[in-house]
Amino acid sequence: MVMTKNFRFRGLTAAALTLTALFASQPAAADTIELNSFWAGSGTVTIDFTGTNWHDGSTVTGLHEVGGSGGFETYNLTTDPGKQNGFQSFCVDIFHSFSFVTRSLDVLKPADVALAGSTATLPTVISSSAAADLGRLYTNHHAAIDSTSSSGANEAAFQLAVWEIVNERSGTYSLDGGDFEATGTGSSTASLWLSELSTASASTYSANIWAVQSMVSGKGYAQDVVVFTQVPEPEAYAMMLAGLGLLGFALRRRNQNPG
């Protein structure tokens, strides 16, 4: 959820403002993030995993967990200390336990840790194709989970689909077999949404993986999450860049002519 303030910028185009807001929404490495509660409804699921831990490349055998499934109510307290602009994130980390603790803050680590081949500060095997599929999943079904009144079934389904995409290395998305398996709330819907990804489709959102680590002494890892950002249309993006260029030119002229 993005809220805008009614400021007026003389001489600055709407396109430039949009791009400025887009850049501002990206977190800095030391931003403070709060994972407050579930965003809307949630469900209960059972997950099983045998495969490669994307955090450290180790082999995991017989991971079995039962717990809540749904999006997180999330705040960037560095840019939004009053917690006016909450947004939704989803877990991509099944290897570390996590529970909501009121006012227990987490430090956001650099956002480039999650794509294979990047200048990652952590070992990772989340592929670029998986990141693309996350973006397509959100493009196809964000309307079902964007609202704070979204059903627990839809929220749980989306979370299960995210876990399947991130953790499955068998080459086929299925909650019934492969590296990652799951049952429970929303599993049938998740399976349907995952099956749609076998057909090529455009994505209007990108998946940004945030590595979030606990500030509380002794807590260690907290939770890694995915946050989705809308991708500008090519024409709009060009207009935005042009708008920012004009803004920079105007500022330089103003500095050169202080009178």
> Which range, of 7-21, 179-193, 199-213, averages the lowest pLDDT?
7-21
The residue among 140, 143, 118 whose CA lies nearest residue 208 is 118
* DSSP letters for 139-206: HHHGGGTSSTT--HHHHHHHHHHHHHHHH--SSS--TTSSSEEEEETTHHHHHHHHHHTTS----SEE
> In this predicted structure, what is the pLDDT of residue 244?
52
> Which range, of 16-20, 35-39, 42-46, 220-224, averages the lowest pLDDT?
16-20
Residues above pLDDT 90, as percent of the chain:
42
> In this predicted structure, what is the pLDDT of residue 161?
98
Mean pLDDT of the chain: 76
> In this predicted structure, what is the pLDDT of residue 144?
98
**Strand ranges across the sheet with 59-69:** 59-69, 43-52, 180-184
d(CA 217, CA 104): 11
Q: Is the pLDDT of residue 25 over 60?
A: no
Does 23 or 2 have the greater pLDDT score? Answer: 23
d(CA 59, CA 135): 27
d(CA 95, CA 54): 9
CB 222 within 8 A of CB 108: no
Q: Which alpha helices (H) appear in the chain, and where do they start and end? A: 14-25, 128-141, 152-167, 187-196, 234-256
The residue among 214, 204, 169, 163 whose CA lies nearest residue 186 is 163
Distances, alpha carbon 50 to alpha carbons 2, 46, 183, 237, in Å: 38, 14, 15, 42
d(CA 25, CA 229): 9
CB 164 within 8 A of CB 194: yes
> In this predicted structure, what is the pLDDT of residue 205?
93
> In this predicted structure, what is the pLDDT of residue 246?
54
Q: Is the pLDDT of residue 132 over 70?
A: yes
pTM summary value = 0.76
> In this predicted structure, what is the pLDDT of residue 129?
84
pLDDT in tens, 38-66: 999 999 999 999 998 877 778 999 999 99
Q: Is the pLDDT of residue 5 over 50?
A: no
Average pLDDT over residues 217-228: 73
